Amino acid sequence: MSAIENIAEVEAQDNGLLRFLTCGSVDDGKSTLIGRLLFDTKTILADTLHAIERTSKKRGMEAIDLSLLTDGLQAEREQGITIDVAYRYFTTGTRKYIIADAPGHEQYTRNMVTAASTADLAIILIDARKGVLTQTRRHSYLTHLVNIPHVVVAINKMDLVDYSQDIFDRIRSDYTAFAAGLGIEDVRFIPMSALNGDMIVDRGERLDWYQGPTLIELLEAATTSHVAQEESFRFPVQYVCRPQDSANPELHDYRGFMGRVESGVIAIGDAVTVLPAGRETRVKDIQVMGQSLPSAFAEQSVALLLEDEIDISRGDMIVRTGELPNVTKQIDAMLCWLSELPLDPRRKYLIRHTTRDSKAVLAGIAFRMDINTMAHRAAEKLAMNDIARVSFKLAQPIFADSYANNRGTGAFIVIDESSNNTVGAGMII
């Protein structure tokens, strides 16, 4: 037999990449759900399938255990290698998916925040027999904190509650009530059985009363792109390109400010302001590999050429005139502490925000968040996995938006210079 088997033709249509996160308590069915997605989209790979068939048989099961599909990294975890988040990949032919799977235990807040920071969508699993639990609240709070654009509440194990619409409705209204208190608005609910494959890729036969989309339909349709027209233009400068070719007079005055458009859109001729200098000028050209573009939008990496000669270096920011961010040396933020060494109020840290690094000291902890009860508690220092509202004083100004408005210019990390480790994740208020 050839090693290559054909199952599905992959089409050329491309809806881009969707990153999503799965959260649930132990045994809610997270592994089964992911396995089901891979299996029913026929993206599970034949060798992986053989491996889990073997393992299922070895364990005396007659059907294959789909949760084994996600157990690949278990061994490393047991060996104590730090893999904070396991990533899994699949593709449907129209879209590529990256699933971030953060372990569900309480002490893994930092793993979930890490996984959530790049996710477009979160699936929060609820066991239909148990309803909304403390863990559900915790996961929902964290997805909200990190501002994941789409939230899907998957009410799983519907087969164990006789596919009851009453139970689904009750859990949905419980969830909606507490989510509203947190300010979470746009949530979708899907009843499902990961075990039987109902409402994941196929609709199944027992959930006729549910008219909404299946999970895969929601994933396929979820938007990921920046809404460029509504966002402010933000261009943190990564690198200043000054060709050294002094023999070529044309290049003598060339200054290309290179970076990635963090948000918004800019066109040749637009008025821009350079921070921190505050100087105003216009965009003379937008270039990619020597080619000129009329405009550039979020996520594109380009070189901007400006009409006036302005002294600009890495860490500066080019924005649209009239749409200035906060230029500030004092930030208030929600901070998730990631390090085993507690946050020390007497120490200097380094804050990295877009392409800019600045020394910083803690100016105060307003409160620590008890993410089980949502209560605010007083705190002197922060331990690993703590989430708190804090303020920092910076040695240099940063150009910030609130994280709720702009993930790219609202997020920062805290670095401990004595170890160079990333020790904190911050979201500016």
Ligand X SMILES: Nc1nc2c(ncn2[C@@H]2O[C@H](COP(=O)(O)OP(=O)(O)O)[C@@H](O)[C@H]2O)c(=O)[nH]1
Sole binder of ligand X in the list 20, 21, 23, 32 (CB under 6 A): 32
Q: List all residues 6 or more positions away from 380 whose beta carbon is below 8 Å from its beta carbon.
A: 345, 365
For residues 191 and 408, which CB has a smaller minimum distance to other proteins in the complex? 408
Cis peptide before 249 (omega within 30 of 0): no
CB of 205 to other proteins, least distance (A): 28
Q: How many angstroms separate the CA atoms of 107 and 94, rounded?
A: 36
Q: How many angstroms separate the CA atoms of 101 and 71, rounded?
A: 11
Binding status of residue 31 toward ligand X by CB under 6 A: yes
Q: How many angstroms separate the CA atoms of 28 and 14, rounded?
A: 32
Number of residues located near other proteins, criterion CB under 8 A: 50
Q: How many angstroms separate the CA atoms of 384 and 416, rounded?
A: 14
Binding status of residue 67 toward ligand X by CB under 6 A: yes
For residues 45 and 404, which CB has a smaller minimum distance to other proteins in the complex? 45
Binding status of residue 239 toward other proteins by CB under 8 A: no
Binding status of residue 291 toward other proteins by CB under 8 A: no
Strands 295-297 and 150-156: unpaired
Q: How far, CA to CA in Å, does 79 sit from each of 70, 89, 111? A: 17, 23, 18
For residues 26 and 247, which CB has a smaller minimum distance to ligand X in the complex? 26
Sole binder of ligand X in the list 30, 138, 356, 368 (CB under 6 A): 30
CB of 72 to ligand X, least distance (A): 13
Q: Answer whether 139's CB lies under 8 Å from 112's CB.
A: yes
Binding status of residue 214 toward ligand X by CB under 6 A: no
Q: Count the residues in the chain.
A: 429
For residues 71 and 174, which CB has a smaller minimum distance to other proteins in the complex? 71
Binding status of residue 28 toward ligand X by CB under 6 A: yes
CB of 49 to other proteins, least distance (A): 8
Sole binder of other proteins in the list 16, 57, 61, 91 (CB under 8 A): 91
Binding letters toward other proteins, positions 37-76, x by CB under 8 A: -----x--xxxx--x-------------------xxx-xx
For residues 157 and 234, which CB has a smaller minimum distance to ligand X in the complex? 157
Q: How many angstroms separate the CA atoms of 86 and 73, rounded?
A: 7
Q: How many angstroms separate the CA atoms of 388 and 370, rounded?
A: 9
Q: How many angstroms separate the CA atoms of 292 and 294, rounded?
A: 7
For residues 61 and 251, which CB has a smaller minimum distance to ligand X in the complex? 61
Query: Beta partners for 390?
Result: 333, 365
> Is residue 330 within a helix (H) or strand (E), and if so which, with residue range?
strand 326-337
Binding status of residue 156 toward ligand X by CB under 6 A: yes
Q: How many angstroms separate the CA atoms of 206 and 193, rounded?
A: 10
- Contact positions vs other proteins (CB under 8 A): 2-10, 42, 45-48, 51, 71-73, 75-76, 80-84, 87, 89, 91, 98, 110-111, 113-114, 117-118, 338, 352-354, 407-408, 411-413, 415, 417, 420-422, 425
